[in-house]
Chains A and B, each alone.
Chain A
Amino acid sequence: MSIDRKTVEHVAALARLGLTGEEKTKLEAELSGILDHVAQLSKLETGKVEPLYHILPIQNVFREDAASPAGVRDDVLKHAPGARPPFFVVPNVLDE
């Protein structure tokens, strides 16, 4: 399975990763190599195998509906980049 530059760029855009040209070139080769290795999975016949969604034999784990304050807001805002308490702040959402 070989990965071309366009795919690298598309995937990087999905993952919001800014990559340099050099990084892209390296990733083309590295990802292709890893996917070659991964390709051996396709040799396995799994038509009748149920995917394993959860390794644990447990289901129906709930919490009860009771509200309690965590009291961590100010602590989190104190360390948040560019925050203006009581808000978090982000630049230029509209101009995206």
Chain B
Amino acid sequence: MKYEPVIGLEVHVQLKTASKIFCSCSTEFGREPNLNTCPVCMGLPGSLPVLNRRAVDLAISAALALDCRISPFFKFDRKNYFYPDLPKAYQISQYDLPLATGGRLEISANGSSRNIDIERIHMEEDAGKLVHAEPGHGVPKGTSFVDYNRAGTPLIEIVSRPDLRSPAEAHAYLDALKHILRYLDVSDCNMEEGSLRCDANVSIRPAGETALGTRSELKNLNSFKFVEKAIEIEIERQTEVLESGGRVIQETRGYDSAKNTTHPQRSKEQAHDYRYFPEPDLPGFTVTPDQIERFRSALPELPAARRRRFQTKLGLPAYDAEVLTAESDTADYFEKVVGLGADPKKTSNFIMTELLFNLKTAGLPAGRSPVTPARLAELLKLQADGKISGKIAKDIFPAMFEKGVSAQEVLKDQKIELIADAGSLDEPIRQVISENPKAIEDLRAGKLTVLGFLVGQVMKKTRGQADPKIVPQELKKRLGI
């Protein structure tokens, strides 16, 4: 029997705020354990939460960018369960009246793109972190250390409809989500630092069937690649279960990346009964249509729209548009250079081949490139005017990048002469013509293959400073062909 996978993702994204969602503790990553804590996020008796305005603003921007409907009224609820990483033994989350519902995200996988429906986006606080200690030094086996630095970090949980049909689509969904959220500067979406976390709900059903099969929930997915692999292996596992006449049971499963297997996880709660009820410590929240419109108009152009504009208005190939819009920093850089008069395609080529490589090596975003858009525009103009060759442009770029100086300065430094005009090629071309009578004869006879050889000779005479695009034309002009 042929089975169709049905996949839904629950993605927790950390909002980029300075302070936590309900208290003034810093959200800075990597601080000393428990340093970013206060009575509120440690759940000390008597403490009370007050909502961080910026967290809501960021969440609304994200929801609008994902085409969601913002609830005119939303509230918070308590989700009650016991676990040592949860200081109050309840998580302040949203239950029946979340921030936003019903959006969509355009993904592109296998060369085609389609929309994945988003069910809801709600806000909540993160839990702390348990570190399972090594036994010894008086620490009994199984002891855990608790660090509440992360407790109270603002999150949005983005829940997709079970619309994804393959592990690759799940990966593409995460890519697209990450692009948008980073574009908005809503989140770093850094899986290593835990600012993006993903759970996957996976089930399979006979192809053509419309009812949903029993799903399992995959947890511990630490990278986009592991999300893809875990879903893949889980689909295989469920297929085997069904084909051997068994039944899939609803459960939480962890993914072991070393063994590439999924295994059942004991649940946090013996019985899943979270006893949600409205958070009495926080009055409700309203958003007016006017406010929503203001948020909407403040949104930056999103990756998909920008990609389309780069293709239609600037004539870039789809591939270039995709690469340049992957990060808003890169796209902004590109637009600045083009805005200074550079040719879009030439700029795109240079960014994709030279700039991105250097940035990646240096670990910098385009926004902090030592070669500013103005300097790249200047370099490209020198090349376009024929004052330096493309090769020279490429050769001097690393020095510009490394020293943070202009093209002119590098040229001066390396004593590279500017090619003033085509006239300066007169002498080298004259010499090459007189030194290579046989080749000239062949060329005149129509043997165009020797042209490359002659151009090479001219380049040699000019120590590479001539523009290899101009040399053939000048050669032919001199020979009258």
Contact = CB atoms under 8 A, between A and B. Distances in A.
Touch A–B, Cβ below 8 Å: yes
Interface of A: 10, 13-14, 16, 53-54, 56, 58-70, 72-73, 76-77, 84, 86-96
A70 B38 contact: yes
Contact of A93 (B144, B148, B271, B283): B144
Category for how many chain B residues contact A = 35 or more
A84 B132 contact: no
Contacts of A56: 283
Determine which residue in B17, B37, B286 has the highest number of CB atoms from chain A within 10 A of its CB, and name it: B37
B51 A88 contact: no
Contacts of B54: 64-65
Contacts of B82: 16
A10 B271 contact: yes
Nearest to B82: A16
A90 B143 contact: yes
B367 interface: no
A61 B50 contact: yes
Q: Which 5 A-B pairs have the closest CB atoms?
A: A70-B38, A65-B54, A92-B142, A87-B145, A62-B53
B37 to A, nearest CB: 6
A66 B34 contact: no
Contacts of A68: 19, 24
A65 B18 contact: yes
Contacts of A92: 140-144
A87 B147 contact: yes
B50 A70 contact: no
B52 A62 contact: yes
A61 B146 contact: no
A53 B132 contact: no
B321 to A, nearest CB: 35
A35 B285 CA distance: 34
B384 interface: no
Given A13-B271, A16-B82, A63 B24 contact: yes
A87 B35 CA distance: 10
B50 A62 contact: yes
Contacts of B23: 70
Given A10-B271, A58-B283, 17 more contacts: A59-B283, A59-B285, A59-B286, A60-B283, A62-B53, A67-B24, A69-B35, A69-B36, A76-B44, A84-B145, A86-B34, A88-B34, A88-B146, A91-B142, A91-B144, A92-B144, A94-B144
A86 B33 contact: yes
A66 B283 contact: no
Given A89-B146, A90-B84, A93-B144, A66 B24 contact: yes
Interface of B: 17-19, 23-28, 32-39, 42, 44, 50-56, 75, 82, 84, 130-133, 139-148, 266, 270-271, 273, 275, 278, 280, 282-286
Contact of B51 (A61, A69, A95): A61
Contact of A87 (B34, B51, B75, B266): B34
Given A14-B273, A67-B24, A90 B284 contact: no
A60 B271 CA distance: 35
Contacts of B139: 84
A77 B35 CA distance: 11
Given A70-B38, A86-B32, A90-B144, A54 B25 contact: no
10 contacts: A14-B273, A53-B75, A63-B51, A65-B53, A69-B25, A84-B139, A87-B33, A88-B146, A90-B144, A92-B140
Nearest to A94: B142
Given A88-B34, A89-B145, A94-B142, A63 B53 contact: yes
Contacts of A67: 18-19, 24-28
Contacts of A76: 37, 42, 44
A78 to B, nearest CB: 12
A56 B18 CA distance: 30
A86 B55 CA distance: 28
